[in-house]
Amino acid sequence: MPTNSHLMPHLKVCGMADADSLQAVAALQPDFLGFIFYPASKRYVGERLPAAAVRALPAAIRKVGVFVDDDAATVLARVREFDLQLAQLHGHETPETCAAVRAGGVPVVKAFAVGEGFDFAQLQPYVGCVDYFLFDTAGPQPGGNGTAFDWTLLQDYNLTVPYFLAGGIGPEHVAALRNLRLPGLFALDLNSRFETAPGTKDAGRLEAFFQALKA
């Protein structure tokens, strides 16, 4: 079982789709930045963000492409175009699809929508096919729903795969996050609660959050 629960988790800011706020957020040096390649998302990269702007980000920031039910070839083509370091598969991708992306040389984050009665047994077939899990709140959209789930559901997590904690994390969670001791917790994923508009992040709010977490 991973034992890093007492350490400061890594930080990922997801759903970047605006060139100006991308620069401002990159200056805060988060560990990961996420880019959404799901056309139905309000944060779809689409025409809003040229690949060159993403490719030009500092190498220390790992760039994560977020995909929903794409095949491995589509994911890998975007990875090459945008110079992404990880693929986050946020739909109903099978372990085989995850393994195919990984076989293309790209570490995989497999997202799961968590609600009451979440069946942790469904994770087992993915062990060995993914590098990380991401636990997000179940909701009407595949992601970016802006609501938190009951994190105590993860208290008994006992798999070797580290995970990102996502779903509605916002400034009001600082105290709870500072005291959070969850086995396997690797990173916090921040998105809609730090936006001025979908895809446009509020760098000031993020900076205050980062500082409060690290204080």
Residues in contact with ligand LARABZUK by the rule CB under 6 A:
14-15, 34, 36, 38, 41-43, 66, 68, 90, 136, 141-146, 166-169, 189, 191-193
- Please state the closest distance from residue 9 (CB atom) to ligand LARABZUK, in A: 14
Of 3 and 209, nearer to ligand LARABZUK (C-beta) is 209
- Please state the closest distance from residue 166 (CB atom) to ligand LARABZUK, in A: 4
- Please state the closest distance from residue 14 (CB atom) to ligand LARABZUK, in A: 3
Bin 181: left if φ > 0, else alpha if -120 < ψ < 50, else beta.
beta
- Please state the closest distance from residue 169 (CB atom) to ligand LARABZUK, in A: 6
Of 20 and 69, nearer to ligand LARABZUK (C-beta) is 69
Of 142 and 184, nearer to ligand LARABZUK (C-beta) is 142
